[in-house]
Structure 1
Amino acid sequence: MTLRFRADPAFDSGSIMVCDWPLCQVRLQDDARFPWLILIPRLVGRHELEDLTPPERITLMDEIVRAGAVVRMLGESALRPVQKLNVAALGNVTAQLHVHVVGRRHDDGLWPDPVWGRGGATPYGAEALQAAASRIRLNQAG
């Protein structure tokens, strides 16, 4: 039996799938306070960076940089230019390997604290969420 990639269902409650890049599924976090992408390598049974082959690690790093450019584009389109990118592969709640790429500003309300595990997300609203996803699809950096 061949296992097929599936994003952990836990991602469905706080993000939407936007597109696939060569290695990762790209998801938009539904929190309008921050331009925020989640990259999930479409590889079964991978939990840690060390589980990736060297070529997969290179591709993941390239996609993290690409996601940073997209996050900056989202910030610009919302007239809130990103001042700092936060990048992390935590996996404490969802063990499936994934990387968060979050645009931060000195005036974002949580600065300088991390955003992970902090409640109080501000959902985009259905129309704004789909508009942001469309901007990502149309303006994918890289």
Structure 2
Amino acid sequence: MPFSLDNRLEADSLFVTSYDDIQIRVMNDARYVWVLLVPEIANVTELHDLPAQKQQLLMQLAASIGAGIKTTPMPHVPAIAKINTALIGNIVNQLHLHIVGRHPDDAAWPAPVWGMGSAIKLDEDTINQRRQLVHKIMDMFQEN
């Protein structure tokens, strides 16, 4: 069976790019700087379902994206104090990894972001800024 993205991930996030069969998406929620990594492999629900090499790549990408989010100033976003990285999948079974930049003034601080209020859709300028951020981080990732 070929890979297809879960409908909820498709509806709640925006595709930015792909790297070695891992989709990089931004959550369409202006309250947080939030990136998703989704391996483009059918029927994968758990980290241990991935081949070891893909597990390592997923973790390396998550670490690099988290570091980039934490260290890159963004317009209209307070300094990121903490990166939350999580593989949960209780609602969306398809394997996906969350990388969320958190700060004490965000809508859910210090609680987890899941299930807290309603998403505020990104405007076009912010979508472009988040995409540029991901591309900048990926350029640095590929240089290393």
Write the deviation string for residues 87-118 of structure 1: whole angstroms up to 9, x where unpaired: 11111111100000000012213111000122
> What is the SS of the residue equivalent to 1:77?
coil
Aligned counterparts of 2:57 and 2:133: Cα–Cα separation in 1? 23
Q: Which amino acid aligns with 1:108?
A: D
Q: Does 1:122 align with 2:115?
A: no
Write the deviation string for residues 23-42 of structure 1: whole angstroms up to 9, x where unpaired: 41000011111110000011
Q: Which residue is 2:87 aligned to?
A: 89
Aligned length: 139
Q: Which residue is 1:98 aligned to?
A: 96
Query: Which aligned segments of 4 or more residues in structure 1 are displaced greater than 3 angstroms?
Result: none
CA contact (8 A) 1:25 1:40 kept: yes
TM-score (normalizing by structure 2): 0.86
Q: Which residue is 1:70 aligned to?
A: 68
Write the deviation string for residues 44-92 of structure 1: whole angstroms up to 9, x where unpaired: 1110011112222111111111221332256x12242211010111111
Q: 1:13 aligns with which of 8, 11, 35?
A: 11
> What is the SS of the residue equivalent to 2:116?
coil
Q: Which moved more, 1:27-36 or 1:122-131?
A: 122-131
TM-score (normalizing by structure 1): 0.87
CA contact (8 A) 1:37 1:71 kept: no
Structure 1: where are the runs of 5+ without partners?
none
